[in-house]
């Protein structure tokens, strides 16, 4: 698909943006992190052949996000927290599929 080709062309830059957004909470509604998780999911779906080599960085960022969301007891409402956990988990599942089970390992 042409979207896949465009994503691959800009993958390195896109990856830096995604990792940057995943690291920082943007307030109780977490709109930026929810949006960037959606972007990551779309990126994995369209550029899956290029994902295994990016697995270590993405895995580290997603696991850190899951840990932070799970342990922080800030002003973030429970539905927002649940949405973050769900979207991050969806990304992990997709990464596991395109890396033939390396996420589980």
105 in a domain, yes or no?
A: no
Q: What's the number of domains the chain is made of?
A: 1
Closest-CA residue to 59 (of 87, 19, 26, 24)? 19
Question: Residue 104: its pLDDT value, please?
Answer: 84
Residue range 40-76, pLDDT digits in tens: 999 999 889 889 999 999 999 999 999 999 998 889 9
- State the helix-helix crossing angle for 11-23 and 2-9, rounded to 10 degrees: 70
- Band the pLDDT of 89: cuts 50, 70, 90: very high
45 in a domain, yes or no?
A: yes
The whole-model pTM stands at: 0.90
Question: Residue 45: its pLDDT value, please?
Answer: 92
Who's near 88: CB < 8 A, 6+ residues apart?
37, 62, 65, 66, 69
104 in a domain, yes or no?
A: no
Domain range spanning residue 6? 2-99
DSSP 3-58: HHHHHHHTHHHHHHHHHHHHHS--STT-HHHHHHHHHHHHHHHHSGGGSGGGHHHH
């Amino acid at each position: 698909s042409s979207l896949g080709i465009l994503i691959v062309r800009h993958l390195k830059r896109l990856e830096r943006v995604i990792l940057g957004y995943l690291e920082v909470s943007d307030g109780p509604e977490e709109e930026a992190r929810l949006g960037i998780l959606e972007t990551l999911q779309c990126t994995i779906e369209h550029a899956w052949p290029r994902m295994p080599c990016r697995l270590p960085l993405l895995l580290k960022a997603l696991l850190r996000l899951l840990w932070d969301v799970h342990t922080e007891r800030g002003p973030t409402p429970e539905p927002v927290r649940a949405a973050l956990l769900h979207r991050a988990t969806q990304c992990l599942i997709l990464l596991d599929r395109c890396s033939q089970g390396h996420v589980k390992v």
